[in-house]
Amino acid sequence: MSSPSTVCRNHLSLSQVYPDLRRIMLFVAFEEAGPESEPSYQQIIFTAENEAVFRLDCSRVECAGGGFDFTPVVDAMVTNRETRAHGTLSCSGLLGSGGACCALRAEYRIIID
């Protein structure tokens, strides 16, 4: 079984990349972005006609070039025929001119229907 291509999938729909899937649910809890802010949560549901790109922007406003890409996680789940996954990703963006690493953590849970 070949895994879905991870290149040039922009503008491809979920049903084109993963013909067997009806729905992917992504729940993400971001660590608090700063001392003043609350932890933030996002719940995103991808259906067959959505674009098959699973990226979220970093919740820190000063973060440049960061974000979270769940596409490899979804690919691995599909390849291994898993319907549930959870874990943590760290942002690889940079903060301000000092170039410190953002490293904001996002705890995710993915459910595939």
**Binding interface with Zn ion (CB under 5 A):** 58, 60, 63, 66, 91, 93, 102, 104
Whole-number minimum distance, CB 46 to Zn ion, in Å? 22
Query: Would residue 11 be called left, alpha or beta, if left means φ above 0 and alpha means ψ between -120 and 50 degrees?
Result: left
Residue closer to Zn ion, measured from CB, 60 or 78: 60
Q: Which of 8, 5, 12, 6 is nearest to 51 (CA)?
A: 12
Residue closer to Zn ion, measured from CB, 52 or 59: 59
Residue closer to Zn ion, measured from CB, 63 or 89: 63
Handedness of CA 12, 30, 101, 85 (dihedral sign): negative
3-state secondary structure of 39: coil
Residue closer to Zn ion, measured from CB, 14 or 58: 58
Quickly tell me which residue has 């098959």 as its tokens: 52
Whole-number minimum distance, CB 26 to Zn ion, in Å? 18
Whole-number minimum distance, CB 44 to Zn ion, in Å? 18
Whole-number minimum distance, CB 90 to Zn ion, in Å? 9
How buried is residue 9: exposed, middle or buried, by Cβ count under 10 Å (0-12/13-18/19+)? middle
